[in-house]
């Protein structure tokens, strides 16, 4: 039965003559997507094709045409920002009509609203608390300590990440498959999950994952059939934004709700599904027609953002993915510039080239606000940041702090500072219990109190107090070990290369290992950043000189004009657009990411290719792609092979840049490693049996070979000068013949 608000809305909807003039502003496929109101509809909205416009216009059309009133529409977005934008647009389209109280919001906000009404069915009260990630970690830590799990070896934060992933998949504690249970937390993590859930109920709380999980549990329980029936009667239409990014739990929740009217419209782009690492399942959008029989697929292919050369180039790359529904983007904005591709000696040369290209754009009166540098991973930003500072180009890092402001970099610099200058109390305070050494606030307060009373530094205070009984014996031993390490590292400053010393400090202190064993999603990136920090130190004469450089960099970052180059990751750039986009680091292993391919195989490679597609389609007028023939990573120089994504670019759409003095150090089927000599593309199916490398050695399929990085392996395929090799310890890799010798 409808409440008074719903009746009034229904009367208003039917009595007012609808103004449908907004339909005239849509192109033909957009209008079809807006007017196809009944049944299941999937709107495949390519990059820049007006996705948000279609979604909001469809919602407004449902109301204006009298098909439904606000309380009968469930409209789901992924972010609060997207929900707010939709509310503002719809309100504007409907003459300023208020939209508060509508079922329009994020998955979590809408699920929370439902759960408030049915909390008792999962053992909660309607006034339950939604805890934040910090509370999650604290609560699980208490449980782990009671169960005797070593919280230093298995951090609560990493265990919570695993539990969150299970919730994203809609799994209750007793539904976790045996294949998911490893030695993490001594094999106790399913039990910890169960106890964690019980503890949440005891304190009348849930975390964000529970909001959907509890509602799925309620909907699936036959005893609660009346609850699901109630929502089936309530919602005549369901609209979903960014459907390609849904995880399993979100998918299950939507499917259960859509079983009522069957009127569900999902808008998304399978080619832009790039969040598999956080639970998104591209399969949800790919199997839409299977899930909803008789579903209508509408493709939005007219792009309003980019030139045709950009669209054709990105399309040529994404066409290599097998798992996709397919579409062809086009634009009426002309062909525009070709994609500029450049190979450089190393990362430093790449940063110089990008800086020079940006300065040339400035000479054409192009604002820095219209320029973006999109990197595959966070550690790449350092060289660009430093280069831009030298050139006086203002920039901002979006989606995270600047390189030298990141937590792990600040911690590492604190270690280096205290080695160079033992009385640096601010640095000492930062690292005294990082990683955890069992030094609590009581000990630190004692040290500070003594230091202030004697007018000495923390370092001297520790030296004095470790010779007395003021501190516990265990604490004294820990602090003495720390001072011994600092003295040892300090004694090596004159005899050891400073970058090697930095690596030793991070390893011997346990700081690097702390992040290596951390299972949280951001931990691998922190390890990469620390390795990049050490790599970048080699160009300076000493550790003090490097620290002085960092101090000047941090000072310069505060003085900037109103225009900024945007630096961000490819993941963070989705949904944004810039006139000029630089895409550096297109090398095998870096992009596509070797870690992603090792962990997920073909599925990981296809997501990397979708990321390349997203990167290129951020550009409105010009796209610049670059790669280095060698790059300093993990403390040593790595010879690089151009990304396979460069091979997939059509030659007639590419303008190769030239750097004087470049020497060819490797080949690909399409480009040599310097990027300057186009070569005929090899067919995707190679039948070659042997190849001669630059050393004159004949390599044949089946040969046992050796690679400096990957070790021993066997050649299984030859494609020009690219070899597919199965290594004993590294699995299957594609490498250039120049880096292989017969084993």
Active site residues: 51-52, 241-242, 272, 618
Tokens (6 digits) for 634: 């993990």
575: left (phi over 0), alpha (psi -120 to 50) or beta: left
| Dist. CA 331–CA 560, nearest whole Å | 36
| Dist. CA 72–CA 629, nearest whole Å | 58
Tokens (6 digits) for 318: 């994404």
Tokens (6 digits) for 15: 């009595």
Query: Which residues face 488 on adjacent strands?
Result: none
Tokens (6 digits) for 498: 């400073």
First-to-last C-alpha distance (Å) of the chain: 79
Cβ-in-10-Å burial (0-12, 13-18, 19+) of 120 comes to exposed
- Relative to beta strand 630-633, strand 636-639 is antiparallel
**Do 678 and 671 form a contact (C-beta atoms < 8 A)?**
yes
Count Cβ atoms below 10 Å from residue 741 Cβ, excluding itself.
14
Neighbour-count burial for 240-255, b at 16+ CB within 10 Å, e otherwise: bbbbbbbbbbbbbbbe
Cβ-in-10-Å burial (0-12, 13-18, 19+) of 647 comes to middle
**Do 13 and 63 form a contact (C-beta atoms < 8 A)?**
yes
Looking up tokens 């299970």 gives 166
**Do 419 and 490 form a contact (C-beta atoms < 8 A)?**
yes
Cβ-in-10-Å burial (0-12, 13-18, 19+) of 515 comes to buried
Q: What is the DSSP letter of 688?
A: B
Neighbour-count burial for 420-436, b at 16+ CB within 10 Å, e otherwise: bebebbebbbbbbbbee
Choose among 355, 320, 327, 354: nearest CA to 592: 320
Going 601 to 602 to 603 to 608, the CA torsion angle's sign is: positive
For the residues of 581-629, what is the DSSP string, one character each? EEE---BTBTTTBHHHHHHHHHHHHHHHHHHHHHHHTTEEEEEEEEEES
334: left (phi over 0), alpha (psi -120 to 50) or beta: left
């Amino acid at each position: 039965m409808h409440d008074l608000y719903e009746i009034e809305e229904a009367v208003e909807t039917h009595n007012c003559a609808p103004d449908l003039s907004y339909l005239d502003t849509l192109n033909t496929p957009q209008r079809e997507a807006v007017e196809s109101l009944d049944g299941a509809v999937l709107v495949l909205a390519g990059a820049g094709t007006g996705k948000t416009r279609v979604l909001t216009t469809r919602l407004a059309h449902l109301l204006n045409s009298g098909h439904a009133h606000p309380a009968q529409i469930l409209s789901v977005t992924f972010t609060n920002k997207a929900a707010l934008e939709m509310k503002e647009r719809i309100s504007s389209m409907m003459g300023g009509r208020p939209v508060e109280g509508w079922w329009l919001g994020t998955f979590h906000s809408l699920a929370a609203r439902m759960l408030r009404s049915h909390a008792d069915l999962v053992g909660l009260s309607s006034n339950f608390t939604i805890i934040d990630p910090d509370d999650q970690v604290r609560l699980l830590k208490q449980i782990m300590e009671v169960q005797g799990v070593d919280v230093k070896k298995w951090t609560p934060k990493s265990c919570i990440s695993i539990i969150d992933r299970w919730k994203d998949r809609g799994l209750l504690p007793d539904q976790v498959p045996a294949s998911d249970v490893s030695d993490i937390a001594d094999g106790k993590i399913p039990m910890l999950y169960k106890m964690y859930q019980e503890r949440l109920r005891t304190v009348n709380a849930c975390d964000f994952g529970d909001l959907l999980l509890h509602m799925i549990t309620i909907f699936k329980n036959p005893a609660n059939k009346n609850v699901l029936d109630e929502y089936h009667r309530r919602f005549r239409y369901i609209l979903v934004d960014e459907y390609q990014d849904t995880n399993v739990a979100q998918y299950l929740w939507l499917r259960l709700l859509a079983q009522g009217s069957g009127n569900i419209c999902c808008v998304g782009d399978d080619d832009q599904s790039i969040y598999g690492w956080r639970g998104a399942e591209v399969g949800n959008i790919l199997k839409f027609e299977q899930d909803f029989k008789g579903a209508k697929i509408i493709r939005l292919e007219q792009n309003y953002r980019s030139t045709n050369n950009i669209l054709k180039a990105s399309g040529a790359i994404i066409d290599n993915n097998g798992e996709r529904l397919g579409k062809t983007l086009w634009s009426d904005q002309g062909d525009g510039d070709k994609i500029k591709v450049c190979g450089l000696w190393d990362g430093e040369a790449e940063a110089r080239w990008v800086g020079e290209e940006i300065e040339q754009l400035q000479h054409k009166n192009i604002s820095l606000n219209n320029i973006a540098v999109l990197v595959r991973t966070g550690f790449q930003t350092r060289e660009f940041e430093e280069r831009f500072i030298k050139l006086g180009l203002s920039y901002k890092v979006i989606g995270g702090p600047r390189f030298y402001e990141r937590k792990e970099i600040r911690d590492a610099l604190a270690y280096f500072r205290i080695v160079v200058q033992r009385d640096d109390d601010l640095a000492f305070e930062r690292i005294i219990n990082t990683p955890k050494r069992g030094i609590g606030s009581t000990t630190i307060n004692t040290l500070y109190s003594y230091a202030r009373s004697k007018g000495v530094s923390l370092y001297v205070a520790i030296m004095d107090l470790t010779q007395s009984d003021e501190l516990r014996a265990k604490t004294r031993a820990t602090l003495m070990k720390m001072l011994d390490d600092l003295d040892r590292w300090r004694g090596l400053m004159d005899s050891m290369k400073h970058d090697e010393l930095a690596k030793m400090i991070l390893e011997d202190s346990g700081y690097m290992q702390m992040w290596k064993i951390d299972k949280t999603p951001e931990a691998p990136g922190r390890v990469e950043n620390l390795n990049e920090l050490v790599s970048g130190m080699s160009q300076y004469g000493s550790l003090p000189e490097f620290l002085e450089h960092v101090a000047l960099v941090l000072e310069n970052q505060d003085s900037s004009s109103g225009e900024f180059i945007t630096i961000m990751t490819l993941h963070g750039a989705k949904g944004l657009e810039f006139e000029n986009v630089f895409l550096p680091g297109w090398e095998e292993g870096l992009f596509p990411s070797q870690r992603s391919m090792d962990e997920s195989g073909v599925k990981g490679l296809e997501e990397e290719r979708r990321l390349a597609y997203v990167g290129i389609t951020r550009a409105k007028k010009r796209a610049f792609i670059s790669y280095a023939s060698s790059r300093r990573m993990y403390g040593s120089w790595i010879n690089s092979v151009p990304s396979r994504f460069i091979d997939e670019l059509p030659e007639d759409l590419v303008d190769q840049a030239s750097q004087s003095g470049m020497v060819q150090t490797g080949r690909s089927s399409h480009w040599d490693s310097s990027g300057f000599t186009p070569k005929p593309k090899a067919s995707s199916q190679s039948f070659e049996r042997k190849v001669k490398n630059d050393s004159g050695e004949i390599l044949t399929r089946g040969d046992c070979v050796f690679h400096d990085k990957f070790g021993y392996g066997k050649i299984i395929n030859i494609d020009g000068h690219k070899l597919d090799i199965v290594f004993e310890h590294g699995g299957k890799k594609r490498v250039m013949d120049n880096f292989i010798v017969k084993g």
